């Protein structure tokens, strides 16, 4: 069985690693990012109809300014983000499935003023008619390098699970920096956009059936069982 490499930030890394090990997978890797808060000021909540949030990191790192916005419903990209919002004292307006653009499209045909709380690196969105979005940056990802042990294992091949476009781009940078052979590595990616950002030259790039950790790890399990 091929080794599986996980590179998403904490606390997601540990959650995915625990799940993958329970599936019998040989888990390696470490976060290629450290998430840290960014100083920001919350606008007047009365100017908005809701919050648009694409990551649970918003509620982990948003700080005291979040308390000024708890009257606004959260339109969350997925269940993990919705759970983090509830834990922070927010009510949920809509929970998406399939990415932030799909969620925004589901909200179309309404006149909405949304405040987007996001990371410094974020997806560019196409705004439907009638929806206005203002953005505040509340956290950023600080890049880390591949550990020497992981680099040596990857020279022999394996499977890398990618949970985000930022992770895909960072992996490519590390492979090029250390002159690792992409053609020996299979990628399991959480969505089509991540596949695009991963670039060319990999042994294979496969997209999960749905944009969730369980679906991504199921795909990774199948790839780990393929011939080297």
pLDDT in tens, 59-95: 999 999 999 999 999 999 989 899 999 999 999 999 9
Region of residue 157 (left: phi > 0; alpha: psi -120 to 50; beta: else): left
Q: Whole-structure pTM over 0.85, yes or no?
A: no
Q: Which of 142, 177, 198 is the last residue of a domain?
A: 142
Domain count, the chain: 2
pLDDT > 90? residue 21: yes
- Position 228 scores a pLDDT of 63
**E strand residue ranges, the chain:** 4-6, 27-28, 33-37, 50-53, 74-76, 92-95, 112-119, 131-143, 158-162, 185-189, 204-207
Range(s) of the domain holding residue 136? 36-142
Calculate helix-pair angle for 213-224, 12-22, nearest 10 degrees: 50
- Are 131 and 186 within one domain? no
Would you place residue 44 in the very low, low, confident or very high pLDDT band (cuts 50, 70, 90)?
Answer: very high
Burial class (CB in 10 A: 0-12, 13-18, 19+), 206: middle
- Are 90 and 126 within one domain? yes
- Position 212 scores a pLDDT of 85
* Separation between Cα atoms, residue 2 and residue 103, nearest integer Å: 35
* Separation between Cα atoms, residue 30 and residue 77, nearest integer Å: 25
SS3 at position 46: helix
pLDDT > 80? residue 223: yes
What CATH number did the domain enclosing 53 receive?
3.40.50.10090
Burial class (CB in 10 A: 0-12, 13-18, 19+), 116: buried
- Are 128 and 168 within one domain? no
Q: Which of 125, 142, 159 is the last residue of a domain?
A: 142
């Amino acid at each position: 069985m091929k080794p599986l490499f996980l590179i998403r930030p904490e606390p997601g890394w540990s959650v995915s690693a625990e799940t993958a090990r329970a599936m019998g997978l040989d888990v390696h890797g470490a976060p290629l990012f450290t998430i840290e808060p960014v100083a920001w000021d919350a606008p007047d909540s009365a100017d908005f109809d809701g919050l648009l949030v694409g990551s649970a990191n918003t509620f982990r790192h948003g700080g005291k300014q979040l308390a000024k916005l708890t009257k606004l419903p959260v339109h969350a990209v997925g269940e993990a983000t919705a759970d983090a919002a509830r834990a922070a004292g927010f009510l949920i307006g809509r929970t998406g499935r399939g990415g932030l653009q799909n969620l925004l499209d589901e909200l179309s045909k309404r006149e909405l003023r949304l405040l987007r709380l996001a990371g410094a690196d974020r997806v560019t969105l196409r705004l439907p008619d009638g929806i206005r979005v203002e953005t505040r940056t509340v956290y950023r990802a600080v890049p880390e390098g591949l550990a020497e042990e992981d680099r040596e294992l990857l020279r022999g091949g394996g499977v890398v699970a990618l949970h985000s476009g930022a992770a895909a781009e960072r992996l490519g940078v590390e492979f090029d920096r250390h002159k690792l052979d992409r053609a020996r590595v299979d990628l399991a990616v959480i969505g089509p956009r991540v596949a695009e950002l991963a670039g060319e030259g990999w042994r294979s790039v496969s997209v999960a059936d749905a944009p969730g950790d369980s679906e991504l790890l199921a795909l990774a399990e199948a790839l780990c069982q393929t011939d080297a």
